[in-house]
Structure formats: structure tokens, C-alpha cells
Structure 1
Amino acid sequence: MTIVVPVSGTRGHTTHWKSGFYRIALAAGVPVVPAFVDYTARTCGAGDPIVLSGDISADMDKFRAFYQGIEGKYPDDDGPVLLREELDART
């Protein structure tokens, strides 16, 4: 079975990613395969599966590393690779 969930879930700027993909994958015990469309480089692809540990910060560090340097069509609308839980922990 494959579930494809766009993590941003919106078309405008956000302060964080929505966490549904994380919660679904963690509860199901399935890895997340990060994918991208790099508008500037005119490339797309997918990375290696990321097995979630339940440590949100450590898991999201893997996504931050993967998406580093990848730019969408509207980069001003891109929010940080950050879940609300991480944002809440910072305040």
C-alpha cells in the first residue's frame, strides 16, 4: 500500500508543515519517502525511505537535510521544514 500526502497541504505561505503525514506513517509503522520538484533546476525525484523513530526533531532533521537547496516555483510561499510540535516547543 502507498499513501501519498502533500505535506504542506496548502497553496499559501505557512509557518510549519502539517503533521498528518508524520502521524499516519508513525502509527502505521511505514517509512516516508520524501519527494521533490525543484523548479529552478527543472528536476524531480525521490529520496531514500525515512523510517520514523517518534523523535520528531531527529526525524525532521532528516527531512530538512533532504530538502536543503531544493526550490519550488514560488519560494516565497515555502515555509520552513518544521512541524507545529517543533514550533510549539520553541516558544
Structure 2
Amino acid sequence: MRKVRMNVQGRVQGVGFRYMTKMAADDLEVTGTVRNEDDGSVSIEAFGTEENIDQFIQKVKDSPSPAGRVTYVDIQDDPLLEEYTTFRVTN
């Protein structure tokens, strides 16, 4: 299992990005959270199999929202992240 923390920048707020990210996570059986940040970015914590996390990261990089545009993604593995049972949109 793999746990990652991601910060996504670009046109990612006000375009349905968080909800489309949740749909992608649910499709891939990835759990975690997604939330807007005050600086206009989106933060994601994700937990799942290595293969599912790799696919999830690619979907996020490609922007799960048709109106969104991702310009930069910072990805950090973090084995200390909480293991969620679902994927939630917060704030």
C-alpha cells in the first residue's frame, strides 16, 4: 500500500476539480481527502495500492475536471498519513 500527499496548482478551484478528483479516487478504490487551500491550490491525501495510486496521480496530473488545468503537482510519499476508509471532499 502507498500513501501520498499532493499539492496541485493551476486552474483547480471553482471548476469542479475536488468533486471530479473524488470520482476518480472512488473509481480506483483510493481513499483519502481533497481540499482547497487559501493560495488557490488543492491538497490531496491518498491511500491505496501502488498501481491504483500511480493511476490516480496520472488522472490528477491530467486534471479530472474538464474545465481545470494542472500546471504543477508536488507529490510526497508519507507513510504516516491516516488510512481513510473513504475518499472525502473537505472544506
| Higher Rg of the two aligned structures | 1
Identify the structure with the greater strand proportion.
2
TM-score (norm 1): 0.28
When normalised by structure 2's length, the TM-score is 0.28
Point out the structure with the larger helix share. Answer: 1
Q: Say which structure, 1 or 2, has more relative contact order (CA 8 Å, 6+ apart).
A: 2
